[in-house]
Amino acid sequence: MVARTCSARMTTLTMRELAGSFGLRHPDSVANLTRRADRAMKKSPRLRKEVDAIRRELLQVEK
């Protein structure tokens, strides 16, 4: 879930490309998983902090 969400937000790949990369059949599946992740992060501050830390780490690797 976290990898799909970060990929959707941090790359320029289309939903179709992301769906294929994650073995999903429909591009809408990526959007649905991203919405579910957003809801989960709103309910869990701990999850939000962990995902934010992962994003920061990924951004540092890119530089």
Cα–Cα distance measured from residue 43 to residue 11, given in angstroms and rounded to the nearest whole number? 25
Cα–Cα distance measured from residue 18 to residue 14, given in angstroms and rounded to the nearest whole number? 6
pLDDT for 40: 95
Residue whose C-alpha is closest to residue 15's, from 1, 31, 2: 31
Cα Rg of the chain, angstroms: 12
Place of tokens 């920061």: 56
- Is it the case that residue 62 has pLDDT exceeding 70? no
Q: Which domain holds residue 40?
A: 2-62
pLDDT for 47: 94
Number of domains making up the chain: 1
The pLDDT tens digits of the residues spanning 4-56 come to 888 888 889 998 999 998 888 898 988 898 899 999 999 999 999 999 999 89
pTM: 0.71
Q: Are 30 and 8 in contact (CB under 8 A)?
A: yes
